Structure 1
Amino acid sequence: MIDPRRLRVLRALADHGTVTAAASALHLTPSAVSQQLAALESEAGHELLRRRGRRVSLTAAGELLVAHAVAVAAELERASATLAAFSAGTVGRVNVGSFASAITQVVAPAIASLRLTAPGVEVRVRDVEGHASVPLLLDGGIDLAITEEYRLRTSDERLTRFPLYTEPFDVVLPPRHPLAGAESVDLAALADEPWIATLPGNPVRDVVELACENAGFAPRIEHTSDDFSAVGALVRAGAGVALAPRNALRGVPVSGDAPLRRVFAAVRRGSEGHPLICLVRDALTVVHRVVHSGGQLEQVFEVD
């Protein structure tokens, strides 16, 4: 009989790539993870891992068992959601991970709404960049992640997602820059400028570099920060120019087709019917519609 708790350990190893990283995600020691994996191999009757010194990789049998581990995890989430629904599910806590501007735009207003409509629901917010929120969600550190489309594998069957809003990127210029008063800016006109950008690995950095590449140049990045208030301060100080999501840092529109950030919420598949998560999801959606009707956010995008 295979212990489902050991399947979770195997799934963490597949997600994180090393025993040490899996142990950190599960709050276990690497030794405990290795022992659990060895016991799982004994239960399964197959070699699940290839060991080369300190490195490990999944065998074909290991890959097959990981697929079943994902299915088992989803069924356990559904069981939890069903029990919560049976007991009414109007009191409890939902942990939400979100990047800063989405906290401002939708999460904080949703919390204010829930305090009136569902006072028994406690929402705890964790400020986390979009590219880090999905692994945190899959590891159980949060219940709902607000992130961007371009950092998520759209075919990931472990997640259910729903759209919130789409926002364009603006060019952010120093006050005395010759183009500061323009109605729009062609990125190619900024090819020789020093740039301020987010750190490598941040999905906003990917968008900026791709947009500049499409404009025919590679940005000369001289300053980096994941804090858009810091980016704005550096721009105002004349340290360079930047390209940022409009709700994080408003600037001058980009000429032509502006790069976009598509923002959505994601939950672990199987938990989407949990009544507490449904309440928070509905509050986020209502807030989005209200803000959108006021013209602060752009069009909704569709999710398959």
Structure 2
Amino acid sequence: MEIDPRRLRVLLAIARTGGVLAAADELRLTPSAVSQQLNKLEDESGHALVVRTPKGSLLTPAGLAMAEAAEEIERALNAARARMESGAELAGVVRVGGFTSFLRTIVIPRLPEWRSQYPQLQIRIVEDDLPALMRLLRQRELDAVVVELDSATAEQRSLPTGMLEEPLLDEPWKLVVPSEALLGTENVDLARLPLPWLGVEPSAANAAVIGRLRRSTGARVETVHQYQETLTALALVAAGEGVAVVPALALSGVVQDGVDVLDVPGLGTRRIVLRRFDRRNSANGPVDTVARLLRESVSAFDTLAVAPRPVAPAHPERRAPS
């Protein structure tokens, strides 16, 4: 049995994404090219490796064995690359993906300190939305990705084979409203606010909060506009266009006239986690060192630096005016 090892990456992509179309997107190939490579790999191995179903592609027992062997090869190559890059002193390039508020407040201010502490360690950051970052992580073009989730709606689905998820921070969601829009309101009914909600980019955790509120209240939660950056949301709120749910971290160091930041029970928390692939026998390697630096930076950050005005949730018999 002679197998072209270059075809193994196609099988790994199918295993990790669950289908030929998704694997083609990951590998930047056409679906027909992926299918051709898979067929050739099956011919070379003499076994059916994938069973196609209406819900996606499943690996056969032979396919699982082949995928495990492919992962061992991938780990060995990564270990060899790490040894070549590191040398005697901790060295190498670690590529970390993340979202704006985390990179701005947790990572970037510490870069000079980390550079001084580890002069041979280069930390490269990539800012993008979650789908793009996870695609780069699966393609091994990123070493780690910082992910935001709405704690109350975070899905407990299994991660791709070999991927680790480490919690970094749970922080409160804040309600941002135009100045004095709810002045004197002691009880806030999130389902009956006097202004519409601002829409947020669908992959952001804020969008999950709005969806959760829509389901839990049974009310029609109207959204207007669509923003991606917190500064855009704050500008829209200040202009009286609507209200927004924003994590505390995103408000750190931000000054915006014309808005009130409220702490409202029922909004829940945002969970921030670090995702990366397991690198066996590399407890002191560059990626593990950067993960430790991120944990230390998070623990030193004070999410209470933003002092919102606390308000109570609305009593069922005392709704805020709509």
Contact persistence 2:175–2:244 (CA under 8 A): yes
Taking structure 1 as the reference length, the TM-score comes to 0.80
Q: Quote the residue 2:300 is aligned against.
A: 290
How far off is 1:133 after superposition? 2.5
* Contact residue 149 and residue 271 of structure 2 kept, 8 A: yes
* Shift in CA distance, 180/147, structure 1 to aligned 2, threshold 3 Å: farther
Is the aligned partner of 1:275 residue 2:285? yes
Which residue of the partner structure matches residue 47 of structure 1? 48
Structure 1 residue 155 and structure 2 residue 155: aligned? Answer: no
Mean Cα displacement is larger for which, 152-161 or 69-78?
A: 69-78
Question: Which runs of 5 or more residues in structure 1 are unaligned?
Answer: 298-304
| Distance across 2 between alignment mates of 1:167 and 1:188 | 22
Matching residue of 1:196: 198
Which residue of structure 2 lines up, in the alignment, with residue 173 of structure 1? 177
Distance change >3 Å, CA 239–CA 275, structure 1 → 2: same
Cα deviation, 1:218-269, whole Å, max 9, x if unaligned, reads 3101211222221211111111111121222475334324311111212111
Question: Which residue of structure 2 aligns with residue 187 of structure 1?
Answer: 190
Report the equivalent of 2:38: 37
Q: How big is the shift at 1:30?
A: 4.4
- How far apart in 1 are the matches of 2:59 and 2:47? 9
Whole-Å separation in 1 of the counterparts to 2:191 and 2:32 = 54
**Alpha-carbon distance, 1:60 to partner:** 3.2
**In 2: Cα distance, 1:137 partner to 1:181 partner:** 48
Letter in 1 for 2:269: L
Based on CA coordinates, which of the two structures has the bigger radius of gyration? 2
Q: Which runs of 5+ in 2 are unaligned?
A: 253-259, 307-322
CA distance in 1 between partners of 2:261 and 2:93 (Å): 40
1:65 Cα deviation from its structure 2 partner = 4.4
3-state DSSP of counterpart to 1:173 = strand
Change (3 A) 1:43 1:121: same
Where relative contact order (Cα < 8 A, 6+ residues apart) is larger, the structure is 1
Alpha-carbon distance in structure 1 between the residues aligned to 2:251 and 2:115: 29
Change (3 A) 1:160 1:81: farther
* Residues 278-298 of structure 1, C-alpha deviations (whole Å, 9 max, x = no match): 221222122112214x7449x
Report the secondary structure of 1:248's partner residue.
helix
Matched positions, count: 292
Q: Which residue of 2 aligns with 1:247?
A: 249
**Which residue number in structure 2 is paired with residue 302 of structure 1?**
none
1:159 positional shift? 1.3
Amino acid at match of 2:138: L
**Helix, strand or coil for the counterpart of 1:201?**
coil
